[in-house]
Amino acid sequence: MDLWSWISDLPSSDDWTHSSSFTFNLATHGNSSIQLTANRSTASADSDTSLTFAVELNGFPSSAEMKTLWVSNACSLSSDKPFLPLILQLLQEIISRSPAGQKSTCPRSRLQKLKPDPVAWIMDSHSPESFSGFFNLIFLIRLFWVCACDAPAEIGSFYFKYLLSPHLEALSSNHAPVLRTFLITIGVDAELCFTRTLGYVIAKWLILREVGVGLQTLTHAPPKRSLGFTYATEAHGLWILKGHAPVMGMRVTRGGGAGRKYQFPLIEAKESALRYALAHQQLEAVIQLEYSVKYQEGYVHVGARVDNIRLHVARLALGSVDDVEYAEERHFVSRVRVWVGPEVGANYVGAMSLGRSTENVEREVKVQKILKSRYGKAKMSTVKATARTSTRTKMRNWRWDQEAEGNAAVFEAVLCDNTTGNEVAMKKNNGGSEKGEEGGGESFANRYGGTDRAFSKSGGVVFGGDEYGEEVGWRLSKETEGSVLKWRIGGQIWLTYYPNEMRIPYFETRFVEWCDEVDLPLIPTK
């Protein structure tokens, strides 16, 4: 679907003199189709020629005549960037309908309109081929609200089956570097709204595919890798990796409950409603590593330490989060693995050093001995000896480890049950009839309350530099000085679900992996 090339060629089309309307067929099945039309209009002989675009339905049973679903603002063909208003309109309408709750810090109602200059710069700095994929992405997202939310049910089913599914890669591929540049340019608030909208569309597609309603004959399988988007960048002495992944798009590593496989549809209504609520969740991750460069006499020293790791499981809700059924039932982070190091095959690294020893837990042992005796000529012995031994071990919810894989340093945090010491991501939920007795998740029932909870009230977790501040270091060849190297950064994140307030034995653990490259500038300053 090369929609952007079709739009870009409209002003220079030789058919302008013969027709004032052009049509691009977006999807067709049988006699039904969804089309994008471009209509030319000129108010007078001296005025500018403008174009308006419209999404139209043709041949659907619910509408005997052609029906218009959406109309764009006018685009002046005399402008040096005639279609910039169209792109800004699509983006603004996507962000304004972001599935963020009223308590979210993503300010949809107060979000300022996108400035045209950054978007215009993105159009100029990328080739038409690379920009085409980005335009397909934002157009498919905008069509989601038009077809799935503002049209009859048959239109929404047609959109998912014949328009979104064949082009699902547009929602799952990174479209680097256009989408990455766009998200960095528009600011973090608009970025959050945009990525939550993208996650909402993917979540709806995955739900309908699993349920099978209208998608039983779907031939386009989802991508093998996890659906979502990630990118990495270098800024102000930090390496930053950001990732967004709908929970249902993550790979399941462990799961089950009550001896049957939990899939849609479920027998009990409350369990089906729970699975529906869990599907409308998205992992949002920000991994920040602080790096430093020191120039020694015979080598260059590069150091890195964890500055901040912020992980949040957001609920993709169109209304208030408090109005969502099972609002307190959500996945939580159970394991985090972050790595950073030179590109694979680099021969300029002489050595690397880790900054943390493997934890050797110190135990406090108390031994108490009591000896009782009676001296004299008593007929019965009254000598008694008693020995008491007690062991105290200080256990924490999170265990931090550090290791090396080749020349890459690995930082790992594992959530442990502070009553048994077992790793949560590897545990099973054996079932229980009462709340708080889910056998494997008992210490994580009502996990978002209390003073000793391992998560924030909203279900996220934050690791700061004070939690894990030890630095790792690499010694590079002196010849690398003055160059800009490529450094790799990646992360693996596990999410686990145990019932929080419900009384069902369902549990699961899901997994996502991201990897990208960042710049390492080795240019000394005066």
pLDDT digits (tens, 9 = 90+) for 61-110: 876 677 899 999 999 888 889 999 999 999 999 988 888 654 555 555 55
Exposed/middle/buried for residue 281 (C-beta within 10 Å: 0-12, 13-18, 19+): buried
Confidence of residue 511 (pLDDT cuts 50, 70, 90): very high
pLDDT at 173 exceeding the cut of 70? no
DSSP for residue 397: S
Element (H, E) at 376: none
Tokens describing residue 349: 């690294």
Residue 383 confidence (pLDDT): 60
Q: Which of 72, 70, 63, 76 is nearest to 11 (CA)?
A: 76
Which of 223, 237, 138 has the alpha carbon at shortest distance from 178?
Answer: 138
Instruction: Identify the CA nearest to 348 among candidates 292, 385, 402, 301.
Output: 301
Higher pLDDT pick, 169 / 433: 169
Give me the phi and psi of 193, to 5 degrees please.
-65, -40
Whether the per-residue pLDDT at 178 is higher than 70: the answer is yes
CB–CB of 427/415 below 8 Å?
Answer: no
The residues near 503 (Cβ < 8 Å, ≥ 6 apart) are 432, 433, 434, 435
372-390 pLDDT tens trace: 666 566 656 566 666 666 6
Contact 81, 122 (CB under 8 A): no
Q: Which two tokens stand for residue 376?
A: 């004299």
Picking from 206-215, 220-229, 432-441, which range would have the lowest pLDDT averaged per residue? 432-441
**Rounded to whole angstroms, how far apart are CA atoms 72 and 39?**
10
Six token digits for residue 352: 């690397």
Q: Rounded CA gap, 106 and 96, in Å?
A: 10
Read off the pLDDT band of 504 (50, 70, 90): confident
What is the reported pLDDT for 385? 64
CA 22 – CA 15 distance, rounded (Å) = 9
Q: What is the DSSP letter of 204?
A: H
Are 232 and 517 in contact, with CB atoms under 8 Å apart? yes
Of residues 15 and 38, more confidently modeled: 38
pLDDT band at 432 (very low <50, low <70, confident <90, very high): very low
Q: What is the pLDDT, as a whole number, of residue 384?
A: 63
| Least confident among 177-186, 234-243, 402-411 | 177-186
pLDDT digits (tens, 9 = 90+) for 434-487: 343 344 555 666 676 666 677 777 778 888 887 776 899 999 999 999 999 999
Residues 282 and 314: beta-carbon distance below 8 Å: yes
Looking at residue 518, its pLDDT comes to 94
Spell out the residues 6+ positions from residue 96 whose beta carbon is closer than 8 angstroms to its own: 108, 111
Q: What is the pLDDT of residue 516?
A: 92
Residue 485 CB contacts under 8 Å (≥ 6 apart), including other chains = 342, 343, 346, 348, 519, 520, 522
The whole-angstrom separation of Cα 340 and Cα 486 is: 11
Alpha helices in 145-279 (DSSP H): 153-158, 169-172, 178-186, 188-211, 269-279
Q: What's the pLDDT score for residue 324?
A: 61
Identify residue 5 by its one-letter amino acid code: S
Given this model, what pLDDT does residue 435 score? Answer: 41
pLDDT at 212: 64
Rounded CA-CA distance 504/498 in Å is 9
Cα 250–chain centre separation: 9
| pTM of the complete model | 0.85
Q: Is the peptide bond before 265 cis (omega within 30 degrees of 0)?
A: yes
Helix (H) or strand (E) holding 289, with range, is: strand 281-295
> pLDDT digits over 137-157, tens only?
999 999 999 998 888 888 988
* Of the listed ranges 289-298, 350-359, 468-477, the one predicted with least confidence: 350-359
Burial 488-506 (b: 16+ CB within 10 A, else e): bbbbbbbbbbbbbebebbb
Ranking 97-101, 193-197, 229-233, 276-280 by mean pLDDT, the lowest is: 97-101
Helix or strand or coil: residue 15?
helix
Residue-by-residue DSSP string for 90-120 = HHHHHHHT----TT-SS-TTTPPPPPHHHHH
Longest CA–CA span in the chain (Å) reads 133
Per residue in 241-276, pLDDT tens?
999 999 998 998 887 654 444 444 444 566 777 888
DSSP E strand stretches across 206-246: 229-235, 238-246
At 346 the pLDDT is 87
At 277 the pLDDT is 86
Q: What is the Cα–Cα distance from 459 to 274, expressed in whole angstroms?
A: 17
The secondary structure of residue 423, as a DSSP letter, is B
Q: 330: pLDDT confidence band, cut at 50, 70 and 90?
A: confident
Instruction: Return the pLDDT at 267.
Output: 45
**1 has a pLDDT exceeding 80:** no
